[in-house]
Structure 1
């Protein structure tokens, strides 16, 4: 949306890469500077009566269901910290995790009467994000009466959330740009959409934006139509859990059975008889089938078949697992918490399992299936740890291609190096053996421990490797990136590392990208030859590897997120684990 006239990317792209032009004005324009732009379409502006405006309003409405175990109201939320007395025990609630403490006290005895008293005054957050101070129980009850009852349909959409920040462009009545504002949270979004509904402002959302589903997965959308469809389809895609219990352990048997059978479940935590066995059972996958059959795939690929059944008692929902050769799982477990895409099981005596739903995981692994899977696309080395050293950077820009007849090729500096591979069967499971000259870190016998859509995990005694699938054929975004990069030569226009401008280290260097994946940098009497790869991984990335350990180009050996691309400019960013920008690299075409 709102792009410079020089931008010629195909409008049919599924993922728009450009930061909206008007957002860039904040960083690149001055009052005396005249910038030629393409006038946006007025139809992209949000209107008071549009479906999208209403959907965004509902998605930003405050969801008060998480603390229903305290206030019994899904349209209000108590601002933490708060002190409560649970069955005579005074507890200070500092975070949502403390709600489990209340639940545990309630569940401690089956035949007692559970009571919870709130120590007033408290601050209550309403559905419109306003805050009010409540002095006593009577005042709280008055507000609760205005809410819908347990599990009744309400206005808020809880199954999908915006990933902030997002931005809007503001216009005057002549549809001329007057400002760009940034929204940081649901409260700000709710109040801004309220202004649109009240016809106080004319605004258009700047794309792309990212949304997060209740199960933690994300989706990127590029226009109003996609956004409306995504929110609409997600509206009823999860259980909003608007009851007055904590978590979702009040499933009926029928609902629990259907939920278990939707997809395979992968073990993330495991404790048996107070022994933490997570390392042994992590990434075991269970597939609950009809006729009480459960199929389990171990990390080594072994397939175990057992039985499962559920029942609902005064203790809650119970899940019984039975395996002839796997005693650790064989138990009747209490389903004590169900979140979207996650189930927590426990039993007295220090027994606990946490499983996450994964519809992409492959349960029934065979040698032929692994071979066919490897041959589908390219594979890049996303992680490689050898004897405790992280060596994956050595393989940036160098994808693997597996062929029939046990041939494997790796693309290095634009040239294909041929080797061999073999899928073998050992007592420990399926193994992948790779032989490639010049790639000693890969020349090992790897145990295949986990396979899901687009990902293979491998390990041996002291080493771990993750391969991620790369299918560029037919991907218009990837094709566009390749067309831009290979059409001319480039220079480093800016390189900022931790707020330090290091651009001068790259003056007089010319950078080039060849169609075969060859990357070069020439200048100051140096000639660096390396590899590059554009790929998709929850967004678009560009792997740069100039084939040298020497500065300054060793600093650029990285998998960069592509934040903006035009025929003459590419902006790349590096983010830390907290989502903060650490480095920015800007390449500009040499005219």
Structure 2
């Protein structure tokens, strides 16, 4: 599921009003500068109506309705597992359970009653599945145009002024989220003159920011970013598992695990076992070969793109069910197996390799792709909250920078094999403060993915284990 932005938005305009008389008197309205004026019915005014709408697609894995979202907490049963969902982050647990097996019937049962929130931020009590079906039938359906703009948002809080030409009242309002702004803008009439304190910042889907200083700039910025992200308005919950995948990561993976087998193959909605016993090798020059007993079948492969849009083209003329312009769906690595999944519509193929050990090239290339945070730390008890303020940056020269909101702490790291000859991530600091001294270990690598690195340390004295998980920001 892909992750969307919906941070919030606000109308704009600075209006300078001058009341000329004190009797029953005429009101002279000095119009704001043209570059700050908002005209009712204009393009920018219409876009401001759409920006703060509630995005209902973020929880499609549960309700399959783009125009509604569920108010947390709720209880669900996922393939027989009872789960309490208290925030949007808990949806990852639902996805993990649904992803466990490819050949089971995935089932998500909601424990009613629940409350749903509409696009307009109205709430509705839902007593059963039939009522939910009726409500979501009013949504536009998968990948059909909906009103909410999801690829750009305002950085709250923002402040607006409103002058009513009938009552002559001048009011100022500050808004802290989309719902507050939507409620405000829904009550504006043609008698109101509104303005926004400028400049304001807007967030783009990739979390970058742009400062806009005029209404014209705002209109241009919104128009330029309307379709720059995947709004994820389909019901395919697992189509965003490769957000941070790169072609280099895939190439490194294929180079370090030489023999691959096909673990899962689905073509034309049928599970196939055509390639049981075949071993596949992918070379860095774009060639590949499939070996079966005494026979070899040559072919080619290439990859291009980034994230969830990496295209892997495989062409082995003698093995047609391998061939496609596949989309790279997911890369996962753990102590036992390394795998990458390729999808195209309902067709799927998964390649699996059992490598002798993790290769430090894979770990290094993953660490260097961005900033990291400690998402789990266990040492006799869960101490994860001690690390909430820290961001870790692993640099290519072997140095490690750990930042909080004020200070940067410096250390170093390496991926050389440890005493037990397993791949380890070695972390050290010169003079660390609490709690950073807890990171000083020769951590054994348990698993690696594009976004998660799981580590552990076993005390050889008493056999107790410490656990550290790094999540990419």
Relative contact order, CA 8 A, sep 6+: which one is greater?
A: 2
TM-score normalised by length of structure 1 = 0.40
